Structure 1
Amino acid sequence: MTTPKGIVNAILTPFAENGKIDFHLLEKQTSFLIDGGLNGLFVNGSTGEGLLLTAEERYEILSCIKEVSNNRVDLYACCIQPTTHQVVKDIEKIQSLDPDYVVAVPPLYYSGDQDMLYIHFKEIASASSAPLVLYNFPQMTNNPLRLETLIRLAEVENIIGVKDSSGDFLSFVQGAESHATDKFCWMQGDDLLHTSSLQAGSEAVVTGLGNVSIKNHVGLYNAFLRRDYDTMWAHQKELNKLYRIITVTGKGIPAIKAATAILGRSTFPMKDPWLNLTKAEIGKVESILTEIGINQ
C-alpha cells in the first residue's frame, strides 16, 4: 500500500445552465490537469460540489475521469456524506471503478466527541477496499479532528493519510514533523500553506486553485524534490497572486470555477444557482487573470 505523494488537484465539475454535467468540459479539464504533470485528482470533493450531487452523478463523474486519466494519475474518490452509513453506501456504489483512494469527512452538522469520530472513520476504513484518506474541514463539518485523534487514526488499518483544510497550521506541523510515516501522509489543503507544509514534513498537497493554472503547483513540488527552496518560494508567490481571485470575491469555489470558465475549461454555473458569482465579481476575477498573465 502506497501513501499519497505530490500535487493532487480537487477537480471542479462543469454544469450547463440546466444543472446537467458538461462531460465534454470535464474531459477537457481532466486532460489539462494531467498534462500539466500533477500526481492525482480529488474527485467529487468540495471544489467538485460533491455534496450537491446525486450518487449517480458522482458515479458518472468518477467513471468519466477514470476513463480520461487511463491510470496516469491516482484517483481519490470523495464520499462526502453526513453519516457513517451513507459514506459506506457511497463507497459500495463506486468500488467497481476501483479508485486508488477514498476520502471521507467527519459526520456533518451534528456535533460529536473525538471518540465518535474515531469510530466513524474506523468503520469506513473497514468497509472500503481502497485505502482511506481523512478529510479534516471543520468549517464545513462542525466536527474538527483533533491532532491526538488523527495520530490515533493513523494507526488504524487501511487509513493512510489526512487532507487538512482546518487552517490550524500549528497542529498540522506538529503532525507532519513528528507523526508522518511510510503508512500515513499529511496533506495540506490550503494553497497559501503549500511551501511551508512541504518544508515542515508533508509529502503531498491538495489544491482547488490548480483548476485555473497547475504549472506553479507542479513547479513548486518539483523544486521541493530537488530541495531548491528559493524556487519553491518563487512559485508560492505566484500562487499567492492567483489566490487573489478568492480574496477579491470572498467566494472560493465560485471564483475558481469562474476563472476556469474564462479560460475555456469550465462553465460558470454552480450546481445551486444562489452560489453563482455576479457579473461584477466575474469581472474582478478576469481582471486578476489579465494582470498576472494567465490566458490559458
Structure 2
Amino acid sequence: MPSSETGSPSPERCCGAGVGVHGLFALGSSSEVAFLTDRQRAVALETVVEAVAGRVPVLAGVIDMTTPRVLAHAETARAAGADALVATAPFYARTHPAEIARHFRAVRSRSGLPLYAYDLPVSVHSKLSVPLVRELAEDGTLAGLKDSSGDEGSLRRLIVELGGRHGRAEGTAPSFSILTGSELTVDAAVLAGADGVVPGLGNVDPAGYVRLYQAARDGDLDRSVEEQERLVKLFGMVDAGPEAEMGRNSSAIGAFKHALRLLGVFAHGTTAAPQIQLSDASVALVEQRLREAGLLPVR
C-alpha cells in the first residue's frame, strides 16, 4: 500500500495518482505543513482532493500542538472531503502517554473520520510506544500508524505484537494498517509484515515505490532489493544543500520541490520561510540524481 506524501501538486499531474499508488497523504512533513498558514493548508488539501477526484483515498494531515487546534484542522479536512486524518502526538509541552491517548481519542470521536497516528519523534519529541499504539488499535481509536521514528526495532515489535507477518489476519487488530515512513528500508519493512509505505521521496518517484512495494509483497527479494537500492541513491538528493550553510529540512524539502519542478510537476522549488533556498549548484546535484535514477534523460 504505497502512498505518496504530497503538498499541492498541479491537478494534471497529482503526485502518484496515475502510477498505481493506493492513497495520498496530504499535509505531511514533505508538504511543509508546519510552515503553512491555516488558509494555505486548506488550499493545499482542497487542491489535492480535487485532483484525486475520488480515485484513491486522501489522508489529511491535521498536525498541530494541541487537541483544540487539531480538532479545528480536522473540521477543515472533513469539509474539504478528506477520507481520513493523520495526527501526531501533541507537542511543545511534554506530554504523558495518558495525555497522548486522550488526544487521539478526542480527535477520533469528535472528527468522525478514521485516524492514523504519525510517529515522528524527531519533530514531536515524543515516541509512541508499542503498548500505547496497540491499546489504541485494539479499542478502535486508530486505523493505522505511519512510523517515521527511524526505530526499525520498535516497528518490528509492533508488527509482532499485532500478530506478526502471517498472523495479523486473525490477530488482535487485523484492520490496523502499519505503514513505514522510511524511504530507505521499505523492502525490509514490507517483508517483515508492514502494510505499506508513505515516503516523502514518493512525490518524486511514486512509480518506483509502487514497484518496490509490489516486489516485496510478491516475495521477490532480488527485485525488491534492486529497486530499494536505486531509491536509496535517489534519496541522496536530500543532502544537496551544504550542511554548513543550511538546515537538513531546508535541504531535503528544497531538493524534493526542485526535483518536482524539473519533472514538470511544480512551477517552482521555493520553500517556505524561514527555510534557506537551494543554490543553483545544489539544484544541479538534484538534477544529477534524477538522471542517475532514470527519471530524466541522461545527457
Does the pair score TM above 0.5?
A: yes
Relative contact order higher in (CA < 8 Å, ≥ 6 apart): 1
Q: In 1, distance between residues paired with 2:289 and 2:147?
A: 27
Give the alignment of 1:51-200 within 5 angstroms.
51-179=34-162, 181-200=173-192
Q: In 2, distance between residues paired with 1:258 and 1:273?
A: 17
Q: CA separation of 1:51/1:274 partners in 2, compared to 1, >3 Å: closer, same or farther?
A: closer
1:27 maps to: 11
1:256 maps to: 256
Deviation of 1:273 (Å) = 5.0
1:270 maps to: 271
Letter matched to residue 10 of structure 2:
L
Which structure 2 segments of 5+ residues have no match? 163-167, 242-247
Deviation of 1:26 (Å) = 2.7
TM-score relative to the length of structure 1: 0.89
2:244 maps to: none
* Percentage of identical aligned residues: 29
Corresponding residue to 2:5 among 6, 10, 16: 10
2:236 maps to: 244
Q: In 1, distance between residues paired with 2:221 and 2:66?
A: 42
Contact 1:177 1:200 in 2 (8 A): no
Aligned residue pairs, count: 279
Q: Secondary structure at the match of 1:58?
A: helix
Q: In 1, distance between residues paired with 2:13 and 2:64?
A: 25
TM-score relative to the length of structure 2: 0.88
1:17 maps to: none
2:214 maps to: 222
Q: In 2, distance between residues paired with 1:292 and 1:56?
A: 36
Q: In 2, distance between residues paired with 1:247 and 1:176?
A: 31
1:295 maps to: 296
Deviation of 1:199 (Å) = 0.8
Q: In 2, distance between residues paired with 1:85 and 1:146?
A: 23
Contact 1:12 1:257 in 2 (8 A): no
The answer to whether residue 26 in structure 2 is matched with residue 43 in structure 1 is: yes
**For the aligned residues, what is the CA RMSD?**
1.7
The one-character-per-residue Cα deviations of 1:21-58 (angstroms, maximum 9, x if unpaired) are: xxxx532441x521111111111111111222222222
Contact 1:101 1:132 in 2 (8 A): yes
Q: In 2, distance between residues paired with 1:176 and 1:258?
A: 36
Q: Secondary structure at the match of 2:226?
A: helix
Letter matched to residue 115 of structure 1:
A
Q: Secondary structure at the match of 2:138?
A: coil
**Farther-moved stretch of structure 1 (59-68 vs 78-87):** 59-68
**Farther-moved stretch of structure 1 (56-65 vs 231-240):** 56-65
Contact 2:262 2:287 in 1 (8 A): yes
Q: In 2, distance between residues paired with 1:243 and 1:12?
A: 18
1:233 maps to: 225
Contact 2:104 2:141 in 1 (8 A): no
Contact 2:190 2:217 in 1 (8 A): no
**Farther-moved stretch of structure 1 (219-228 vs 33-42):** 219-228
Deviation of 1:113 (Å) = 1.7
